[in-house]
Amino acid sequence: MKNGSYDLPPEINSVLATDCGSTTTKAILIEKVNGEYRLIVRGEAPTTVEAPFEDVTMGARNAIREVEELTGRRLLSEEGVITPRQPDGSGVDLYVSTSSAGGGLQMMVAGVVKSMTAESAQRAALGAGAIVMDVISVDDGRRPHEKIERIRHLRPDMILLSGGIDGGTITHVVEIAELIAAAEPKPRLGIGFKLPIIYAGNKDARHHIQKTLGDKLDLRIVDNLRPVLEKEVLGPAREEIHNLFMEHVMAQAPGYNKLMKWTPIPIMPTPGAVGLIMQATAKKYNISVVGVDIGGATTDVFSVVGDVFNRTVSANLGMSYSISNVLLEAGTANIMRWIPFDIDEADLRNRIRNKMIRPTTIPQTLDELVIEQALAREALRLAFEHHKTLAVGLKGVQKQRTIGDAFDQSASGESLINMMDLGMLIGSGGVLSHAPRRVQSALMMLDAFLPEGVTTLTVDSIFMMPQLGVLSTVHEQAAVEVFEKDCLIWLGTAIAPVGAGREGEDCVTVRGTLPDGTQLQETVKFGSMKRIPLREADLVELEIHPARGFDVGAGKGHVLKTKVRGGVVGIIVDARGRQPFVLPEDSAQRRKKLLEWFNALEVYPAELLARYAR
Amino acid sequence: MAHAYTPGLKVTELATIRKVRRLPILGEVLVQEGQEVTPETVVARAELPGNPHTVNVANSLSVEPEDVPHFMVKKVGEAVKKGEVIATYRAFFGLMKNNVASPVDGTIENISAVTGQVVVREPAIPVQIQAYIRGKVVQVLPREGVIVETQGAFIQGIFGVGGERQGKLKMVARTPDDVLEEKDVSPADHGQILIGGSLVTGKAVKKAMEYGVKGIVAGGIIDTDLLEILGYDIGVAITGHEDIPLTVIITEGFGRIRMAEKTFHLLKDLDGYTASINGATQIRAGVMRPEIIVAGYVPKTRAVETDVAQGLVPGTPIRIIREPFFGQLAEVVELPPELETIETEAHVRILKARLANGQVVTIPRANVEIIEE
C-alpha cells in the first residue's frame, strides 16, 4: 500500500479519520499546525449498523457532525466527506476509516499440521485483523466427522486454507479440502452467497483444490504462506484476506458500500490498523513493543519483535460481555488474590454476572473499582499467555547448531517475546485508558505482564490507534507524530530486577542526576515497590545497580547504564521479584503486601485504603 | 453525547410486536402474506444437507488412492444402505477378498483418487420454522421466511436460558418479594409457565423440569444454582440453545432481587393467558433479551405513559442497576450538568435520586435504567 498508488492531493495538511466500532463510531480531525501534525478534536456517536438504522454512514455522519460543531468547520456534504480541503476552509485533504462493526472479520483457518502450516495460517489471519473461530488440521485430534460437524456449524466470513510446502505431498491438504467441500460451510452474512475461501498452500495441489472447492465456494488462490519450512510468507494471504474483507464482509454490512466511496484508501479492519501503528512506533524507536487492547468482549494483544509482528485475539476475554469468561478461565482464587479485602465468593460471582448482563454500568465505590481492576489483571494475563503461545519461532525448522548453540537452550517453537528485551508496553481499552489514577493502569500492566528489566509504560488516552494505523499506510510521519504527542500518555518507566531474594534485603539501587540538579540515590528492598517522580518531558541517565543475584538487563549483579523517560507516574521500581513473581500464600500476609504496594505507589485514596487495613 | 441513560427493558401491556422468522438456508415459505398464524404454524421449511461421512477406502483396502475408483462397486450418486458394500478388493482369483461397507444410509457423494476417501452423505434433514407467536404474516421473504406481526403484551427480561416455548402463565408468587421454592411446584403445573417474585431456587427449577413445566420467570436466580442446573458455567453471554427442558427468564439480575412492580403487576394481569417465551440472550453484536409475549392481550385500562423520549428528567422513575443500592427503585430528583467526582475518583455524570425509603442518593447516570412504559 504505497502512497503513490492512491489518488491523493500532493500535500496533506488535514485528515479526518473514523473508526466504526461495534458500539461507537469515533471521528478525529488531524491538522498540520506550526509544522507538526496534531489532533485537533474528536467526535463520537453510536454506530448505526444494527436495526433500525442499518446504515453505517449515519453513525459516521453523526460523529463527524460533532467534529464540525466543535471546530465550526464544514466537513460533510450530501455525498459524504468533502475532499480535498477547499479554498473556503471546508473539507479535509484526506478521509480514512477503519471498521470492526458487525463483529469484525471472523475466519476459520485450516492447515495440515497444527503446529506448522495451520499455525502459520492462524498468524496470517490474526495479523490481517480477523477473529479466528477455529483452527482445523489433520492432526488436531478430531475425527473427520467431528471436523465436518464443526465446519458446518461455524458461520465464518471466510476460510483460509494452507498446507504443504511447495513440492511436497498434496494428499493431506486435498483431504482437508474434501472435508470442507463435504461440510458445505455457509457464510455468516448473506444467505445464498458462496463462502469465500483462500488457498495459500502447496502450489502443486492448486489444480485439485480448484476441482474440489471451485464450484461450491468462492475460491481465491495466492502464494503458499509456508513455501519451505524455514520461511513464513504471510503477506499475500493477508492481502487477499483484506481484499475479500472489503468485497464480501464490508459490502454486505449495511452502508459500507457508501462509506467506501468516501475514501480512496481501503477501509481496514480495526485490529489490523492498530497493529500498523504499533509497528510504526517500534520501527521508529528500534525497540520491541507489546500492546494490548482490552475491550468489553475481546482482548487483542500485539507484539513487534524485530521485524516480526504478531497479533492474537482472545475472543472471550473482556471486561463486560465476556467478563464471566474471565471468571471461568482464571478462577475465583486468581481474581481474589489481587483484592485486599474480604469478599464472599458467591457475592463476587453475582457481581460479575450482573456486570455481564448490564455491561454499560461503571464502578461507583472503591470496592467495585478494586474488583474490576483485579479482573482486568487476570484478563490481561490470560490474553498475554495466549499470545505468547502463538508468537513463537517457526516450528519444524532444523536449525544449524554450533557448539555454542548447543549450550543455548533456544529451540524452534520458543516464544519470541523476551520480557527483558521488551522496550515498551502500550495499554488501551476502557479499564486501562480511563482508570481514575494513571498509576492504576501502570500497576495493572506490571502485574499482568510482569515486564523485566527496564520497560517504558504507556496508555492510549483516547482510543484512536485504528485511525492512526490506517493513516500510517499513506502518511507514516503524521500518524506517528500524532500518536506520540496526542494519543499516548507516557506513564513512565518500570525497573524490575529479575531474581528472588529475602524480604527486606537490598534488591536494587538507582542512581542519577535529576533535571533540577538533585542527586538521586534510591535503594529498594526486595518485596517492595517505590515510585520516583519524573516528568514526561524528562529523560534521565540512570545507573541501575542490582544486588547480587538480580539482573536488570546487563547480567546478574551487573550495573546497567541507560536513559530513562519519565511520565505521569514517573519511575516505578518493582522489587517484588521475577522468575518467579510470587504473592504470599497466606491471605492475611498477601493483603498486607497489597496494601503496602498500593500505599507506596499511591494507587488508591489513602483514607479509603485505611479501611481495608482494619 | 445524546444518550445519557441505559435504555430500560420493555415492559408494556400493549405493543406491536414483529418477529422475523428465518430459515438457516434457502428453502420454501409455506404461508402467504396476510395469513393468520398460531405459534405452532410451520411457516417455512428447508432441507439441511445430511451429515457427510468420510470413509478411507484406500486405507481399508490397502490400495493406492488413485486405484480406489477401480475397486468401487457403487458410483457417485448411488444410494447405499448402512452395511452395504461400497468397495471390494479381490486378488488371487477371488480367494483374497476385502470389503468396505457404508457406515450409514445415504448417497455416494464423492470418490477421491487423490486422497482415497469416499464421502457418503446421509439423507437431508428437514428443518422447519414455526411462527412462534399468534398473529398475521405481514411480509414474505422469498425462500427465506416471513415476518409475523401481532398486538399484545410484551415483557423483556434481563437474562435467560432455554429457547422458544409456549405455555399458560401461572402466577405463583403473591408479592414481588416472594421466593419460588420447590414446594410451590406441583405436577399440575405441567405445560405451564410459572411466575415467581424475587427469586427462583435451583431446587424449584429442577422440580419444574421433572413435572414438565415449560418455563419459569422470576426476579433473580443465584449464579451457583444456575451453574448446577446447566451443569456448566456460562462463559460468554450468548444463550438460547441450552439442552434443558424448560426456559428460565430472570427480570432483574443475579441474586435475590425484588421483581419490578410494573413487571409483577402486568404478569399478574396476564395470569391464565397463553404466552410465547424465549430465554435467548445475546449482549453484543445485536442485543437480544429474553421475552414473554402474550398475543392478543387487550389491557383493561390504558396506563399513563412515561415519555421516555425525554430521557432522564426530575420525576423519572428509575431502577439502580449496580452496587451499591443494586435493584432498588428510585425517582430522579436532580440532574446536575457538571461532572462530579465519585468515590472511585472518576469524573462522571451523576444524578440524585430518592429511594423508596426517602433517602436521597448520588448515582452515576450509567448505573440506572429508566422504567419504560
- Burial bucket for residue B349 (CB in 10 Å: 0-12, 13-18, 19+): middle
Do residues A460 and A605 share a domain? yes
Strand, helix or coil at B279? Answer: coil
Provide, as residue numbers in chain B, all residues whose Cβ is less than 8 Å from the Cβ of A191. Answer: 22-26, 144
The owner of cell 504462506 is A225
Which one of A193, A354, A378 would you mutate to disrupt binding with B, by most B Cβ within 10 Å of its Cβ? Answer: A354
- H or E segment and range at residue B332: strand B329-334
With bands split at pLDDT 50, 70 and 90, how would you rate the model's confidence at A404? very low
Inter-chain residue contact B322 with A350, CB threshold 8 Å: no
A350 close contact with B: CB closer than 8 A: yes
Averaged over A519-524, what is the pLDDT?
95
Residues B330 and B341: their CA atoms lie apart, in Å, by 21
Q: What percent of chain B is predicted at pLDDT more than 70? A: 94
Of A220, A239, A258, the position where a domain reaches its end is: A258
Please give the pLDDT value at position B23: 87
Do residues A510 and A575 share a domain? yes
Q: Is the pLDDT of residue A409 over 60?
A: no
Arithmetic mean of pLDDT over chain B? 90
How close does chain A come to B92, measured CA to CA in Å? 30
Architecture per CATH, domain B154-295, reads as 3-Layer(bba) Sandwich (3.50)
B153-183 pLDDT, tens digit per residue, is: 999 999 999 999 999 999 999 999 999 999 9
Averaged over A531-560, what is the pLDDT?
94
Among candidate residues A240, A198, A247, A204, the one with its CA nearest the CA of residue A220 = A198
Please give the pLDDT value at position A184: 84
Do residues A224 and A116 share a domain? yes
A283-308 pLDDT, tens digit per residue, is: 998 999 999 999 887 898 999 988 88
Ramachandran area for residue A252 (φ above 0: left; ψ -120 to 50: alpha; else beta): alpha
Asked whether the CA dihedral B4, B10, B13, B18 is positive or negative, the reply is positive
Of A101, A122, A146, the position where a domain reaches its end is: A101
Scanning B277-316 for CB atoms below 8 A from A yields: 281, 283-286
Averaged over B212-229, what is the pLDDT?
94
Q: Among the listed ranges A109-123, A245-259, A438-452, B119-133, which one has the minimum average pLDDT value? A: A245-259
Do residues A161 and A45 share a domain? no
With bands split at pLDDT 50, 70 and 90, how would you rate the model's confidence at A1? very low
Please give the pLDDT value at position B308: 53
> Hey, how many other C-beta atoms are within 10 angstroms of the C-beta on A505?
13
Residues A570 and A494: their CA atoms lie apart, in Å, by 8
Q: Is the pLDDT of residue B4 over 50?
A: no
Do residues A432 and A557 share a domain? yes
Nearest C-alpha in B relative to A47? B285
Do residues A52 and A145 share a domain? no
Q: Is the pLDDT of residue A590 over 90?
A: yes
Q: Tell me if the domain spanning B52-121 has CATH number 2.40.50.
A: yes
With bands split at pLDDT 50, 70 and 90, how would you rate the model's confidence at A400? very low
Averaged over A375-379, what is the pLDDT?
97
CATH of the domain at A63: 3.10.20.370
How close does chain A come to B104, measured CA to CA in Å? 12
In a domain, A54, yes or no: yes
Backbone angles phi, psi at A121, to 5 degrees: -65, -40
Q: Among the listed ranges A17-31, A77-91, A429-443, which one has the minimum average pLDDT value? A: A17-31
Q: What percent of chain B is predicted at pLDDT more than 90? A: 69
B7 close contact with A: CB closer than 8 A: no
A363 close contact with B: CB closer than 8 A: yes
Q: What percent of chain A is predicted at pLDDT more than 90? A: 59
Q: Is the pLDDT of residue B3 over 50?
A: no
Averaged over B265-282, what is the pLDDT?
95
Please give the pLDDT value at position B309: 56
Please give the pLDDT value at position A370: 97
CA distances (Å), origin A211, targets A9, A514, A553: 46, 70, 56
- Burial bucket for residue A480 (CB in 10 Å: 0-12, 13-18, 19+): buried
Residue spans per domain, chain B: 52-121, 154-295, 308-370
Please give the pLDDT value at position B305: 56
- Between the two ends of chain A, the Cα-to-Cα distance in Å is 60
| Nearest-by-Cβ selection for A321 from B53, B112, B237 | B237
Nearest C-alpha in A relative to B283? A321
Please give the pLDDT value at position A408: 40
Among candidate residues A477, A462, A493, the one with its CA nearest the CA of residue A287 = A493
Of A77, A101, A125, the position where a domain reaches its end is: A101
Residues A522 and B115: their CA atoms lie apart, in Å, by 69
B44-63 pLDDT, tens digit per residue, is: 999 888 888 989 999 999 99
Cβ–Cβ under 8 Å, residues A566 and A493: yes
Q: Is the pLDDT of residue B332 over 90?
A: yes
In a domain, A235, yes or no: yes
Nearest C-alpha in A relative to B350? A364
Please give the pLDDT value at position A402: 45
Q: Is pLDDT larger for residue B8 or for residue A426?
A: A426
Q: Among the listed ranges A20-24, A478-482, B330-334, which one has the minimum average pLDDT value? A: A20-24
The residue type found at A258 is K
Provide, as residue numbers in chain B, all residues whose Cβ is less than 8 Å from the Cβ of A25. Answer: none
Do residues A475 and A548 share a domain? yes
Inter-chain residue contact A178 with B255, CB threshold 8 Å: no
Q: Among the listed ranges A191-195, A311-315, A491-495, which one has the minimum average pLDDT value? A: A191-195
Do residues A215 and A297 share a domain? no
Provide, as residue numbers in chain B, all residues whose Cβ is less than 8 Å from the Cβ of A605. Answer: 345
Please give the pLDDT value at position A390: 80
Q: Among the listed ranges A390-404, A417-431, B348-362, which one has the minimum average pLDDT value? A: A390-404
Provide, as residue numbers in chain A, all residues whose Cβ is less than 8 Å from the Cβ of B112. Answer: 174, 178, 212
Q: Which domain holds residue A80?
A: 3-101
Residues B123 and B109: their CA atoms lie apart, in Å, by 11
Averaged over A381-404, what is the pLDDT?
71
Inter-chain residue contact B322 with A297, CB threshold 8 Å: no
CATH of B308-370, one of 2.60.40.1180, 2.30.30.30, 3.40.630.40, 2.60.40.10: 2.30.30.30
Q: Is pLDDT larger for residue A412 or for residue A507?
A: A507
- H or E segment and range at residue A439: helix A438-449
Inter-chain residue contact B326 with A354, CB threshold 8 Å: yes
User: Do the first three CATH levels of B154-295 and B308-370 match, i.e. the same topology?
Assistant: no
A565: its cell numbers: 523517560
B231 close contact with A: CB closer than 8 A: no
Cβ–Cβ under 8 Å, residues A406 and A434: no
Averaged over A590-595, what is the pLDDT?
95
Number of domains in chain A: 3
Please give the pLDDT value at position B51: 85
Inter-chain residue contact B159 with A149, CB threshold 8 Å: no
